[in-house]
Structure 1
Amino acid sequence: MQVIGFCRFSYPATGGFQVEHDDTATRESYLYASARMDERFRHFEAICLPGLKAQTDPDFTFLVLVGTSLPAPYLGRLEALLADFPQARIVARDAGPHRATCQNVINEARNMAQPCLQFRHDDDDAIAVDFVETLREAALDLSALRAKHRLMGLDWNRGYVARPDAQGICAEEGVTPFWGVAQAMAVKPGVKHSIMNFGHNKILNFMPTVSFTDRAMYVRGHNDHNDSRQKKHVKPVALPRLDAAGEALFRERFAIDCDQVRGIFA
């Protein structure tokens, strides 16, 4: 069964952001600001990519959507980070409607005659190294339910919220349903809707969903440039620093090396 992961890397969409801008030029100016882009690359390298590259089931495609306006130095930096990640494919598109563009990019990578498993992923989040393997197993376990529905949601709701810095990682485990990370959708053959057609916390309004809470499956990045943290009155989250045992767990479960984190964020 085909598995597709999808990541927007500072793509200047119309819609799709909690903080809106007056026009595309203003949005691109915000997205491509050097301080913001430097932070996005640090999180992408230290938090997002390690677990993806270390998947126990390597049979998946990871689409990275960028704007055609992405400055060349950033595109080159992105290409370098993905050079040893054969499942990754950079897809450049002109600025356009968020949901329609994301849907088209995913469907262009699909075999529409076959069922598909899709997961969304932000560039500052991480999934466990066995996420793709677990997703595929769950989909097979739920074959009877999938056969009855065009779309079905799958959500692994236990994980960590984490903030990396020059001293390592501050993180805390919790259970948050439909948070948009370690969240997937099973799509029947011929169905054009993609996981990006639905708000991550509203997907249960449109299809049957199954949740799993047995083990930590994600790291939700927490940083100053989160789209969800740009609005007023957003309070900071106090997170305890990982001890040696916590750092070992992050290395084993998510392939996140806190020594590498310290070096990248130094």
Structure 2
Amino acid sequence: MLGLCRFSYLGLRGFQTDHDSIEARRAYLYDPLRLARRWLWFTEVALPAWARQTDPDFTLVIMTGPDLPEPYLSRLRELTEQIPQLRLELVRPMQHHLPACRAAIAPHIDPEAEVIGHFRHDDDDAVAVDYIASARKDFNRVKGLWKVEQRLALDHSRGLILKAGAGGLTLTPRICHNMGVALTIFLAPDMAETALTYDHSKLPQWMPVVSITRPVMFLRSIHADSDSGDIGPGLPWEIEEGGTDRLLKQRFGLKRAALEKSLTGLS
């Protein structure tokens, strides 16, 4: 299980917010207030569940640029010492995004593996504490599909949409297919592709996709700094009153009161 998380990586393509030059993109990404907000989302929302995975056998590559401003570069180095599954890769600015992602992932591919479960992870989203264990278990149930084409996606599609703004936090239960978070793409180790190679909204063009609709497996954040602020297509699902707070704690290791305090009113 091998993932890639881009933390304010200074590249020109691969994002929905475009800039005409490296200088313009650097000014946007490295704005001190923006970096402070991104760090808060990363540490308060994304990291807790990665540190608590029930199956610790995974690697999550944190990809950023070698000129990421301090103190954030040093903080990322410290995190890799605290959480052994994290690896830091400093990738120079590149015109094309997919080669940059491949450069970050390539040193961590195990050529002896039969299959690698690639996943992407945004620095403001969360997966459930048993995501790695579930992806491995569910893949074994449908491995025959992977053997046919050497490509298979597992989409853990039930989760919560977290919206943050001046009015506070809202949590919306949602089933979202192929959204990106908690989505695993299984490939042979000698393939050049990664999870970022494929447009996750169009995955059936390239491979079989199996949707796993239970249990709750993702938390997707929408806020002012989101690369995409659209909730996207999906299906609602019902949850009892107060259930979202319990799910936050049980599935993601998060407490709503602490999130409210940290994230409400960020601008």
| TM-score normalized with structure 1 length | 0.89
Q: Distance in 1 between matches of 2:9 and 2:246?
A: 34
Instruction: Give the 5 Å matches for 1:82-97.
Output: 82-96=80-94, 97=96
- Is the partner of 1:202 in helix, strand or coil? helix
Spell out, residue by residue over 1:125-178, the C-alpha distance to the aligned partner (whole angstroms, 9 max, x if none).
000111000000011112211111121111111111103469974211011111
2:165, 2:224 within 8 Å by CA — same for their partners in 1?
Answer: no
1:110 maps to what in 2? 109
2:74 maps to what in 1? 76
1:166, 1:263 within 8 Å by CA — same for their partners in 2?
Answer: no
Q: Distance in 2 between matches of 1:205 and 1:50?
A: 34
Query: Structure 1 residues 66, 16: CA separation in 2 closer, same or farther (over 3 Å shift)?
Result: same
Spell out, residue by residue over 1:91-131, the C-alpha distance to the aligned partner (whole angstroms, 9 max, x if none).
10101121111123212210123221111100000001110
Instruction: Give the 5 Å matches for 1:35-54.
Output: 35-54=33-52
Letter of the 2:259 counterpart: V
Query: Structure 1 residues 263, 210: CA separation in 2 closer, same or farther (over 3 Å shift)?
Result: same
Query: Structure 1 residues 243, 196: CA separation in 2 closer, same or farther (over 3 Å shift)?
Result: same
Deviation at 1:263, TM superposition (A): 4.2
Gaps of 5+ in 2: 232-239
2:91, 2:103 within 8 Å by CA — same for their partners in 1?
Answer: no
2:248, 2:255 within 8 Å by CA — same for their partners in 1?
Answer: yes
Instruction: Give the 5 Å matches for 1:112-261.
Output: 112-114=111-113, 115-164=115-164, 169-229=169-229, 244-261=242-259
Deviation at 1:89, TM superposition (A): 0.9
The alignment of Structure 1 onto Structure 2 pairs a total of residues equal to: 254
Q: Distance in 2 between matches of 1:260 and 1:132?
A: 25
Query: Structure 1 residues 78, 168: CA separation in 2 closer, same or farther (over 3 Å shift)?
Result: farther
Is 1:100 the counterpart of 2:93 in the alignment?
Answer: no
Spell out, residue by residue over 1:176-235, the C-alpha distance to the aligned partner (whole angstroms, 9 max, x if none).
111110111001131121111111212221111111112211000111001113xxxx79
2:23 maps to what in 1? 25
Q: Distance in 2 between matches of 1:40 and 1:244?
A: 28
Query: Which stretch has the larger CA shift, 96-105 or 117-126?
Result: 96-105
2:237 maps to what in 1? none
- Is the partner of 1:201 in helix, strand or coil? helix
- Is the partner of 1:102 in helix, strand or coil? helix
1:157, 1:176 within 8 Å by CA — same for their partners in 2?
Answer: yes
- Is the partner of 2:201 in helix, strand or coil? coil
Sequence identity percentage: 31
Letter of the 1:6 counterpart: L
Spell out, residue by residue over 1:45-75, the C-alpha distance to the aligned partner (whole angstroms, 9 max, x if none).
1110111111110110110000112112221
Q: Distance in 2 between matches of 1:149 and 1:124?
A: 33
1:166, 1:261 within 8 Å by CA — same for their partners in 2?
Answer: no
Query: Structure 1 residues 166, 55: CA separation in 2 closer, same or farther (over 3 Å shift)?
Result: farther
1:6 maps to what in 2? 4
Please give the root-mean-square deviation of Cα atoms over the aligned residues, in Å: 2.1
Gaps of 5+ in 1: 236-241
